[in-house]
Each structure stands twice: as structure tokens, then as C-alpha cells.
Structure 1
Amino acid sequence: MKALVYTGVETLEYRSVADPVAEKGETLVRIDSVGVCGSDMHAFLGHDDRRPAPLILGHEGAGVTSDGRRVTINPLVTDPKSAASRSGRENLCPSRQIISMPPREGAFAEQVAVPESNLVEIPDHITLEQAALAEPIAVSWHAVRLGLAALHPTDIRCAHVIGGGAIGVAAALSLKAMGAEGVTLSEPNAARAAYLCDTCGIDVVEKPEQSVPLVIDAVGFASTRATACELVCPGGVILHIGLGSAEGGLDIRRITLQEITLIGTYTYTAQDFRDACRAMFEGRLGALDWFETRELSAGFAAFAELRSGKTHAPKIILKP
């Protein structure tokens, strides 16, 4: 089969590789659409030791099984017998794997092998391109669920999201779907900000007019963490999703003195993934049209476009 292979820092090669082999309990999925994630970009730039070259990246996949089912893929593979999995927190399973990290190759390919239990069938009115948005949406759905639950009962369910990439957009849409009010988002790229207003109906602002109970950092750099600490109100909650960098930005003194809750969130539980898919299928997350498509063979150019900030859409989907 053909695949887009990460072969070294800032190097991707579209080439022939061996077909994947489905192990016991696994299914082969012919990939139709696969999104480019920020973690793929981190690997491409050589910033992710968890994804060493050579490796097939990509974990936001949707496609068709050998028996004709249209599916989206939960790429997080866990041990169902672990204590975390048995408690419904599969994302904390100590032996968790994710496609696009060794030992599992990713979905920037014509086929990928995944456990049958990780597949969610999609209804006829959902396209496979839309279905490829399920994974980033599930990341944000999981985070928003935790964040809203952590608010004080007297707090208004009002939130601000930092970052207009796919995770930030999905967070804003998830907040609305879960009943939050006054949801705003900040995005420094003016063209991207305009796109989000026009296409997604998101209220994009430079910063909220006043502090808010819930702030979501969907970027994860020192500067955005500092902004989150500045914007959250006393007793409020900061949700940290982004993995831009590891150090700096947290105002620990303010977090302590004003009893601000900081929650780090990673991926999703199996139930969160299914719930996010259900919200997509029921139309509660909007038109799901905030993507552009490219051929998988042109994947290197797509990465360059994302890196330069030239694309306005939050997500580029590659088509094998």
C-alpha cells in the first residue's frame, strides 16, 4: 500500500510500504479521510520523542471496513483489564497505545489495523471527512465535560477558549452543546479568526470583557498559560489541553491564593468518544464543515501550509 512516512526531522515521504496485518480482535480499515493533528506537526518538527522516525503518523482516521461498514476510529488502544479501564478511565491506562506511536503505525496510509472495539459506525448523513473530525472533537468533549463538572455550583457556565485550532474550535462547540453560555474564543491569526466567525458562528474576541469561571488553553505554551491564569476568575477552573511546550506560564501564587483549579486533560474515555460521535451525528456540534482536503500524496505540502499559517480552516484532512 501507499503511505506518507515520517522519515526524519521535517521530512515526509510518500512511498510504498507493507500492508498492515490485523491481529486477533482487530479489523482492517481502508482509510478515506485522516486529519493532520498538532501532534503530527510536533513529530514532523522533531519535537516528540514518542514518535521516532521512520513512522506512519496520523490518528484522526475514518474509512470503510472490509465488510463495507463506514466507521470512524478511536485510535486509543488500551488494556480492558487494567484498573483505569475497568473504572471507565481508559485514557489513563498505563499500557495505553495510540495509532501513530510505536508499536502501532498510523493512518496516513491506505489501510490501518485497529481493534474492532475501537470502531464507531457512522450514519449515512455523515461524510467520511466529517467523521475524521471525531477524534479531535472527542479530545475537547472530554475536557469540557471535566471542566464544567469542576465549576462551583454558583458559577455561571461561561467560558473562554484560547486558540482557534481544531481543539479550540471543538471545545467552543462542545461548550455550547453542553449548555454553556457566553462562550468566546481568542485567535491571533486574523484570517483564521474571520473564518471561525463566518463558518462556525464562534464569537472570536481579543480577550473577554471580564474574567470568566472557565478558561480552556487549547494551545499549551507559556504565553497562553499566563493568559489563562490572567483571565480566570477567583475560584474558577483552567482546563489545559494543548501540548505546545512543557515549561512556564503558570501563576502558581494566584492559583493558590484564589483557589483556582487547574485540570490537565488527555485524549478521552471510550464513553466520551462515543458521546462526542453521538453529538456530531445529532447535529449538536454544527455543520462540521471547518476543514479543507488535500491528497495524501501532497502531505508534505499540507504540513508546510499548516506550519506557515496560510490555511484558514482549523483542520486539513488528507485523502489517500
Structure 2
Amino acid sequence: MKALVYTGVQTLEQQDVARPEPRQGESLIRIMASGICGSDMHAYLGHDARRPAPLILGHEAAGIVVGGVRDGRRVTVNPLVTCGQCSNCQSGHTNLCADRQIISMPPRPGAFAEYVVMPDSNLVTVPGSVTLEQAALAEPLACGWHGVRLGLAAGAPDARAVRGLAIGGGAIGLGAALSMKAQGIRDVTIVEPNETRRAFLVEKCGFPVIAPDALSEDDSFDLVVDGVGFAATRATASARTRPGGVIVHIGLGEDTGGLDIRRMTLQEITFIGTYTYTAEDFRQTAAAIFDGRFGALDWITTRALADGQAAFHEIRAGQVAAPKTILVPSHAAPG
């Protein structure tokens, strides 16, 4: 099969590799759409020691089951594979399983390929009314869904009274903003520094989208989601969260800096670090996609899998307005 293989820093090559074979309890998925995540970009830039070259990246995937009793079923893929037996798995906190694995990280190849193998329990059936490109957004949207759910539980049970801020207009920040709306928050603002992307988001998503320097000294929010994770965005989060409010930190841009610990302590601001989502969060996110709670989901752009190197370069250079680029194998291309 064809696969886009990360072979070294800022180098991706389409190669012929062996097609994976499913084992008992697994299905072979013919990939039709696979999104480029920030973690894929970190690996591409050589910033993720957990993803050494050579490796097939990609974990935001949807496709069609090949063979077995589910043959022909359209599915979106939860890429987190967990043990199912530990205390975290048994209590529903599957994202905290000590033995968790994710496709795109050894030992599991990723979904920038024509096929991937996944446990049957990780597959959610996609209705015919939803495209597989839209279904591939379940993974990044689930990150925001999980974070917003935790944030509301920690500090604001009445979502209707919450003022929310999402930092970052990429798929994680936008997904957090959409998750706020889907979970009942009415007043949501996005902060995004890229002018081209701001204009795109205003046109496509209907949120107030502002530059970071447009936040006034008096602006404060009940729930702030940092979907970027740089020192500068953490500084914004800790400055703009109201006393008693909640910061949800999803982004992993850099490891340290930015938080105003003194203010957070004196103002009793809750900080929640989140990692991915639970299996139930993923299912709930997929259901929200299917019933339209996330809106039209028309803020993606598609590129051929063979053009993956160029797509990564353009994203890195800030040349892509759309929050999400979806790679499409040749067998999924129109015509």
C-alpha cells in the first residue's frame, strides 16, 4: 500500500509499505480521510522524541471497513488503544490508561496511509449524511469536548451563564469553541494572531474572532481554553481568567513559562491539564457531529496524500487559512 512516511526532520516521502493484517477483534480500515494534527507537525519538525523516524504519522482518521462482518461500514476512528483492564479504564478514564497506545506512535503505524488496523471497539459508525472528511474531525473535536466538559464540571455547572475564551484558531482552539457552544455556552470568543485565519473563521464559523492585542485590560472570562500551549498563550490565559474561573490547557506548543502562579493562587483560578479524551467523550463528540451540533464543519481543506510534504510545508509557513488540512489517499479522490 501507499503511505506517507516521516523519514527525517521536515521530510515526508510517499512509499510502498506492507498492508497491515487485522488480528482477532480488529478490523482493516481503508482510509478515506486523515487530518494533519499539531502533534504530527511537532514530529515533522523533529520536536517529538516519541515519534522517531521512520514512522507513518496521522491519527485523525475515517474510512471504510474492509472484510469481516462489518465489511463496507463507514467509520470514524478513535486512535487511542487502551488495555481495558486497569483502574483508569474500568472507571471510564481510558485516556489515562498507563498502557495506552495511539496510532502514529510506535508500535502502531499511523493513518497517513491507504489502510490501518484498529480494534473494533475503537470504531464509530458514520451515517450517510456525514462525509468521511467531516467524520475525521471527531478526534480533534473530542479534545475540545473533553476539556470543556472538565472545565464546566470544575467551575461553572450552568453553561448558559459562562463567558468562554478559546485561545488559538487552529482545529484544537476552534474545536474547543465549538464544544463550548455545543455544551450550552452562549458567549464564546476566539483569539487568533493570524489575520488570514481570523477572516476565514469569521466567515465560516460565526464566532467573534480577535487578535491577541484586541483583548482589553478589563476582559475576563469564566472558562479559558488554551489550544496552543505556548508561554505567551498561557500568560494570556492566566491574565484573562476571572477570579474563581477555570483554565483548561490542551495545547502542547512548549513545556514551560507563561503562567502567573501568584495571580492564579490569590484569585483561586483552577488549572486543568487535559490529555486527549475518554472513549465516551469520543462517542459523544461523534454523535454531536452527526446531529449537527458542531455546525457545517466546512472549515477544512483537502490535499492528496502524495502531496503531504507540500501540505506540511504550507502549514508550517502559515499559508493555510483553514484550521484543518485533510490528506486523502488516491483511492478516495473524486473521479
TM bucket normalised to smaller: over 0.9
Q: Which runs of 5+ in 1 are unaligned?
A: none
State the secondary structure of the residue aligned to 2:178: helix
Query: Does the 8 Å CA contact 1:160/1:208 hold for their aligned counterparts?
Result: no
Counterpart position of 1:197: 202
Aligned pair in 2 of structure 1 residues 48, 234: CA closer, same or farther (>3 Å)? same
CA distance in 1 between counterparts of 2:162 and 2:284 reads 20
Query: Does the 8 Å CA contact 2:156/2:162 hold for their aligned counterparts?
Result: no
State the secondary structure of the residue aligned to 2:325: strand
Counterpart position of 1:80: 84
Corresponding residue to 2:179 among 167, 174, 177: 174
CA distance in 2 between counterparts of 1:92 and 1:52 reads 23
State the secondary structure of the residue aligned to 1:301: helix
Residue 205 of structure 1 deviates from its aligned partner by 2.0
Aligned pair in 2 of structure 1 residues 40, 228: CA closer, same or farther (>3 Å)? same
Query: Does the 8 Å CA contact 1:214/1:232 hold for their aligned counterparts?
Result: yes
CA distance in 1 between counterparts of 2:88 and 2:21 reads 28
CA distance in 1 between counterparts of 2:235 and 2:125 reads 41
Counterpart position of 1:16: 16
Corresponding residue to 2:129 among 125, 132, 135: 125
CA distance in 2 between counterparts of 1:269 and 1:208 reads 33
CA distance in 1 between counterparts of 2:147 and 2:221 reads 17
Q: 1:160-207 CA deviation, whole Å, 9 max, x = no partner? A: 111000011111111011111210001010110010010111211234
CA distance in 1 between counterparts of 2:101 and 2:118 reads 11
Counterpart position of 2:101: 97
Query: Does the 8 Å CA contact 1:2/1:15 hold for their aligned counterparts?
Result: yes
Counterpart position of 1:254: 263
One-letter identity of the residue aligned with 1:129? E
One-letter identity of the residue aligned with 2:44? F
Residue 152 of structure 1 deviates from its aligned partner by 4.5
Corresponding residue to 1:291 among 295, 300, 316: 300
Counterpart position of 1:60: 60
Q: 1:36-68 CA deviation, whole Å, 9 max, x = no partner? A: 000000000000011011100000000000110
- Residue correspondence of structure 1 range 109-124 to structure 2 within 5 A: 109-124=113-128
CA distance in 2 between counterparts of 1:197 and 1:21 reads 44
- Residue correspondence of structure 1 range 115-264 to structure 2 within 5 A: 115-152=119-156, 156-206=161-211, 207-208=214-215, 210-264=219-273
Aligned pair in 2 of structure 1 residues 152, 179: CA closer, same or farther (>3 Å)? closer
State the secondary structure of the residue aligned to 2:75: strand
Which TM-score applies when normalising by structure 1?
A: 0.98
Q: 1:125-151 CA deviation, whole Å, 9 max, x = no partner? A: 000111111100111100110011111
Aligned pair in 2 of structure 1 residues 230, 102: CA closer, same or farther (>3 Å)? same
Counterpart position of 1:3: 3
CA distance in 2 between counterparts of 1:133 and 1:269 reads 16
Residue 208 of structure 1 deviates from its aligned partner by 4.6
Identity of matched residues, %: 62
CA distance in 2 between counterparts of 1:296 and 1:40 reads 14
Residue 22 of structure 1 deviates from its aligned partner by 1.1
Residue 272 of structure 1 deviates from its aligned partner by 0.3
CA distance in 2 between counterparts of 1:29 and 1:42 reads 26
Would you say how many aligned residue pairs link Structure 1 and Structure 2? 320
CA RMSD across the alignment? 1.1
Query: Does the 8 Å CA contact 1:3/1:109 hold for their aligned counterparts?
Result: yes
CA distance in 1 between counterparts of 2:157 and 2:146 reads 20
1:276 correspondence with 2:285: yes
State the secondary structure of the residue aligned to 1:294: strand
Query: Does the 8 Å CA contact 1:184/1:208 hold for their aligned counterparts?
Result: no
Residue 24 of structure 1 deviates from its aligned partner by 2.0
Q: Which runs of 5+ in 2 are unaligned?
A: 330-335
Query: Does the 8 Å CA contact 2:170/2:324 hold for their aligned counterparts?
Result: yes
Residue 21 of structure 1 deviates from its aligned partner by 1.5
Counterpart position of 1:265: 274
CA distance in 1 between counterparts of 2:79 and 2:87 reads 20
